[in-house]
Amino acid sequence: MDIPNYFQEFLKEIRLTQNMRDDLLKGHTTLRERLHSDEHLTPIIVDSFLQGSYKRSTAVRPKGDKRADVDIVVVTKIKRSEYPDPEKAMNLFIPFLEKYYTGKYKIQGRSFGIELSYVDMDLVITSAPSEEEENIYKSYSVTTSDTVEEATDWRLIKSWVPNTMRSPLEQKAIKEAIQKEKEWQTEPLWIPDREAKVWQETHPLEQIKWTSQKNKRCNGHFVNIVKAIKWWELINHENLRPKGYPLEHLLGDCCPDSINSIAAGVTAVFENITTKYAMYALSKSKPFMQDRGLPAHDVFARITEEEFEIFWTVATKAAQIAREALQSTDEVESSFKWRELFGEKFPKATNNDNKETIQEFTKNSALPIIRSNPSKPWSF
């Protein structure tokens, strides 16, 4: 059964809480304001924008005492030709970090990690875009703090502005302009890779744009399907890979358009993983995942063949459980099977008339398997 009310309650339990969202807003807003007012950095900054799972509305609530995190991209005027060593470009931001985040930041391979008591932030710098694209990175459609879920009509265009900036008289004209205007096709950005000592291509705007478009094609369900499956992996297979964006990318490739419910979408995604990638897993290989906007870049480059085989195997088992849950005509049985996938955050059936059914179904059902060695594939 679809049991949409159960899924809505489930999503409330796995989404970022309002307090977490407030902390993320406070953290990244303060950081961005400081960057744009710093006398040494202002001359070399074009603008900043958000990227990552928080921006794409695919983040789930962290487990335990872990903090929520947000990624901030700073588009600079730094020319790669003048800073062939990317570490020297990153060093330009050290005085700023020392001033505001002493003892709270660390230099990472491609970014700066900032750990505060209430939020984690990842600060990424880029080299200069072309002069033609500078204005794109200053537009509201790029700099907005709105997420994919919040900005349902978002498009990468000049005329888009956040709802908070639209007066009642402008609403109709803005909506018409948003529909008519052609979206910008942006070039990739370049970020420093300190360890490899080279600049690497990245295209976060294309990932955001793709996710927004996909979510619309899926009637607003795609980002919630991603959250549900991320939660499945987090509570059942925490050390499993792919995770993060590589997992999200895979789910995007396996999620059909025009999905009418989260339950149907989750089932379809797991089943498509099973059928689409069976030959890779059985031959102990892995697919090439072409990054959005960067055809030569493999999102799965750091995923091993063994990791993909293990993931495919557990996803195959999940597909069986999801299909049983979706096809069940009994609300109690269906909720029990969904709980087998998603754990205790998924609501129990509460119909007292079905109390005997719950007891009988529980008695005759196997308990979830706890794997003693998660590094080995499942066997059936």
- List residues with catalytic annotation: 69, 71, 122
The total of other beta-carbon atoms located within 10 Å of residue 276's CB is: 14
Which DSSP string do the residues of 241-259 spell out, in sequence order? SS-HHHHHHHHHHHPPSS-
Return d(Cα 281, Cα 286) in angstroms, integer.
Answer: 7
Q: Is 162 helix (H, G, I), strand (E, B) or coil?
A: coil
Using alpha carbons only, give the angle 266, 267, 270 rounded to the nearest 5 degrees: 85
Side-chain-facing half-sphere of 86: CA atoms under 13 Å: 23
Both tokens of residue 105? 């930041």
Q: Are the CB atoms for 50 and 56 separated by under 8 Å?
A: no
Side chain identity, residue 332: V
Q: Are the CB atoms for 90 and 190 separated by under 8 Å?
A: no
Contacts of residue 175, Cβ cutoff 8 Å, sequence gap at least 6: 153
Closest CA to 279 of 321, 309, 323, 257: 309
Q: Are the CB atoms for 46 and 137 separated by under 8 Å?
A: yes
DSSP-assigned beta bridge partners for residue 298: 290
Closest CA to 256 of 244, 271, 245: 271
* C-alpha dist (Å) from residue 164 to 27, 146, 205, 268: 20, 10, 22, 37
